[in-house]
Amino acid sequence: MSLSPWRSHLARNLSQHLSQPQSRYLQLATVGMDGRPANRTIVFRGFLDRPDQLKTDQLKFVTDVRSQKASHIQHNPYGEVCWYFTKTREQFRIAGTLHLITSDEPNPSMQQARRIGWQELSDSGRSQFAWADPGQPSADSSEISLGEPPDRDHPLKHFCLLLLEPTQVDHLELRGNPQSRCLYVCDLDRNWSSQSINP
Ligand SMILES: Cc1cc2nc3c(=O)[nH]c(=O)nc-3n(C[C@H](O)[C@H](O)[C@H](O)COP(=O)(O)O)c2cc1C
C-alpha cells in the first residue's frame, strides 16, 4: 500500500521536530449532542499498524471512555485535528471519522492494537485510567488513593484507543511569499486527490 500523498509532508514535519516532544500535542474537535463544537489537546501516538505490520493512514490517540469526547464520538463520529509545527510554520487540519476502540471491541486485531496502545503508555499514563470519573466534581484530594500502577498487560476498562481515519487534509505552509496551501481529499475507494488552493 503506498503512503497517502500528505503523509510525506507530515513525516517531514515530525522528523524536524523530534527535539520538541510538545510537537506531538494537537487539538481534536468533536461535535456535542447539542450540535456545538468542543476541542481539547491530545497526544499523537503514531499511525495504526495493520496485522501485517504495514502502516495505515489512521492516527492513534488514547482516551478515557468516560470522557465527554467519547460520548460525542459515539453520537457523531466526525472530528478534526488541528496541528501546528512551530519550526516549519506548517499547519495540518486533518478531518475524518473517529473510531473508539473500547474494552467491548469485538475485532481481535483492534483489541490487540488497544493492548499495544496500553503497553506503550508510561506507568503514570496508565494510572490516569484508574482515576475518578473525568469531568465530574472532584472529591476531597485526601480521599483519592494513589495505589500501585495498573498491570501493563491488561488495559483497564476505561482505557480506549482512539483512531482518526482521515478523509480530508488541509495543509498550510506559512513560510514563503506567497504562502502555499494544498487540500487533499479522499474518495470512497480511499484514493487521494490533491489541489493547490489559495491560502
Ligand atoms: C498537553 C496535553 C496532552 C493531553 N493529552 C491527552 C490525551 O492524549 N488523551 C486525552 O484523552 N486527553 C488528553 N489531555 C486532556 C484533554 O485535553 C482534556 O482535558 C480531557 O481529555 C477531557 O476532555 P473532554 O472532556 O473534552 O473529553 C491532554 C491535555 C494536555 C494539556
Counting Cβ atoms within 10 Å, is residue 63 exposed (0-12), middle (13-18) or buried (19+)? buried
Q: Is 68 in the pocket of ligand 1 (CB under 6 A)?
A: yes
- Split at pLDDT 50, 70, 90, the class of 148 is confident
Nearest to 172 by CA among 182, 164, 162, 163: 182
In a domain, 144, yes or no: no
Q: Whose CA is nearest to atom 11 of ligand 1?
A: 63
- Split at pLDDT 50, 70, 90, the class of 158 is very high
Q: What global pTM score does this model have?
A: 0.95
* Cell numbers for 100: 473508539
Domains in the chain, number: 1
- Distance between CA atoms of 46 and 163, rounded to whole angstroms? 10
Residue 61: which CATH number?
Answer: 2.30.110.10
Range of the domain at 77: 7-131+151-197
- Split at pLDDT 50, 70, 90, the class of 2 is low
Confidence at residue 1, expressed as pLDDT on a 0 to 100 scale: 56
- Distance between CA atoms of 3 and 190, rounded to whole angstroms? 11
For the chain, the average pLDDT equals 94
CA of 41 to the centre of ligand 1 (A): 5
In a domain, 145, yes or no: no
Q: Is 40 in the pocket of ligand 1 (CB under 6 A)?
A: yes
Indicate the SS3 state at residue 34: coil
What is the share, in percent, of the chain residues with pLDDT greater than 70?
95
Quick check: 164 and 57 in contact, CB under 8 A? no
CA of 97 to the centre of ligand 1 (A): 19
Quick check: 62 and 117 in contact, CB under 8 A? yes
Indicate the SS3 state at residue 96: strand
Does residue 142 register a pLDDT over 70?
no
In a domain, 79, yes or no: yes
Q: Is 41 in the pocket of ligand 1 (CB under 6 A)?
A: yes
Confidence at residue 70, expressed as pLDDT on a 0 to 100 scale: 98
CA of 40 to the centre of ligand 1 (A): 6
In a domain, 143, yes or no: no
Q: Is 135 in the pocket of ligand 1 (CB under 6 A)?
A: yes
Confidence at residue 150, expressed as pLDDT on a 0 to 100 scale: 92
- Split at pLDDT 50, 70, 90, the class of 141 is low
Does residue 123 register a pLDDT over 70?
yes
Nearest to 112 by CA among 44, 161, 54, 165: 161
- Split at pLDDT 50, 70, 90, the class of 139 is confident
Nearest to 162 by CA among 101, 117, 106: 101
